[in-house]
Chain A
């Protein structure tokens, strides 16, 4: 199948198999920041934003994404040279250890702060209920989200 997917603000013509999941389509096309974890919607490593909402790309067929849909991966919000305030807050808070879960968690935080710029800690935890981290114990991650929220308000 062929389709034009809008990824990180760019329209890309992409070829994929009818039964292919979005996770693999993205990775095969260079978006390796989208990680392959549990592949059953529990860990959130493959999380991307679809029209601003967090979704597990491992549970989505690429064919179900329309040309009008907007996909966002973590590289779409900032990079090493120009990190987004959330990415910088994760670094400053020590919220990144092995880093495998980080792209999904940063995007979950991004979606939360777009909708709710002043979340409580409980709301931050709830927004990341689909992301597992096996290194940090989550305390630093929640601190990073709250720090990012504070910085973005300024």
Chain B
């Protein structure tokens, strides 16, 4: 028999002190935790009473409370910033009932491929607000790379920029409502039709998430007419995890083609 103690902290200090115990896990929306083996877990800390379900905007920064569901974020961004890349990434993630439960904080902590949001948050150079052992603000890229930052630490919020950008989010699916095998996120900032910054990430590779810095450098200073499709494809060297009905080589070639298409689609994105 599993003997797990559930706790429902009502303050941040209570939550962080509970985190210091051994063998405790955090419960956000539960969609990921519920599929995991929790036989060794002694305590589950449920965050629902901490008031972390909010989305607010201050100047060009949008702050999303960690307990906001994907559906909450989609609804809020639809009015705050209707062309935002995170909105494009989340509105088709998983399915309606999952979007109603999956939280933005939980999906960063557990990093499921299907959740679609990682590429967008990395392209946005998002910042996490943390509490507990690693209190403070860190880049989401650092959090995902550094396991030590995740230990005994609570994600309180995600901060993303809301500056003008052109973007495209590609999901490799067989039908619109399918879970993607991989996703491509392209985020471009332009000045007088010239690319001044680029963020391109593919999620679903053998490394789980792969950034494409060489391709980003290639795009800098170019306008749409300067970009050569074949040159873009040459700079996309990723290995996509195959499935039982697709193989890695085929999907990796497809990733090259779709990345080039995504860049051109982003450049046609009307802001």
Contact = CB atoms under 8 A, between A and B. Distances in A.
Interface stretch (B10-18, B81-89, B94-102, B218-226): B94-102
B117 interface: no
A1 B6 contact: yes
B44 A55 contact: no
Given A18-B44, A129-B95, A61 B101 contact: no
Contacts of B4: 18-19
Interface string A70-103: 0000000000000000000000000000000000
For chain B, the bracket of interface size reads 20 to 34
Contact of A63 (B3, B6, B97, B98): B6
Given A1-B6, A19-B38, A61-B34, A55 B48 contact: no
B89 to A, nearest CB: 16
A17 B30 CA distance: 16
Interface in A114-132: 126-130
A47 B3 CA distance: 27
Interface residues of A, number: 28
Contact of A59 (B6, B31, B38, B176): B31
A44 B97 contact: yes
B2 interface: yes
A9 B48 CA distance: 22
A63 to B, nearest CB: 5
Contacts of B6: 1, 18, 63
B68 to A, nearest CB: 13
B177 interface: yes
Contact of B98 (A17, A18, A59, A128): A59
B71 interface: yes
Contact of B97 (A18, A56, A61, A66): A56
A149 interface: no
Contacts of B98: 41, 56, 59, 130
Contacts of A66: 48
Contacts of B71: 53
Contacts of B1: 17
Contacts of A47: 97
A64 B177 CA distance: 27
A18 B3 contact: yes
B35 A44 contact: no
A21 interface: yes
A55 B100 contact: yes
Interface in A18-64: 18-19, 21, 40-42, 44, 47, 50, 53-56, 58-61, 63-64
Interface in B23-55: 27, 30-31, 33-35, 38, 44, 46, 48
A58 B95 CA distance: 14
B5 interface: yes
A59 B34 contact: yes
Contacts of A55: 97, 100-101
A42 B38 contact: no
Interface in B172-186: 176-177, 179
A21 B101 CA distance: 14
B197 to A, nearest CB: 33
A41 B96 contact: no
Contacts of A17: 1-2
Interface of A: 1, 17-19, 21, 40-42, 44, 47, 50, 53-56, 58-61, 63-64, 66, 108, 126-130
29 contacts: A1-B6, A17-B1, A17-B2, A18-B4, A18-B6, A19-B38, A41-B95, A41-B98, A44-B95, A44-B97, A55-B97, A55-B101, A56-B98, A56-B101, A58-B34, A59-B35, A59-B101, A60-B30, A60-B34, A61-B30, A61-B33, A61-B34, A63-B44, A63-B46, A64-B27, A64-B30, A108-B97, A128-B96, A130-B97
User: Which 6 pairs from chain A and chain B are nearest by CB?
Assistant: A130-B95, A129-B177, A18-B4, A130-B97, A54-B97, A53-B100
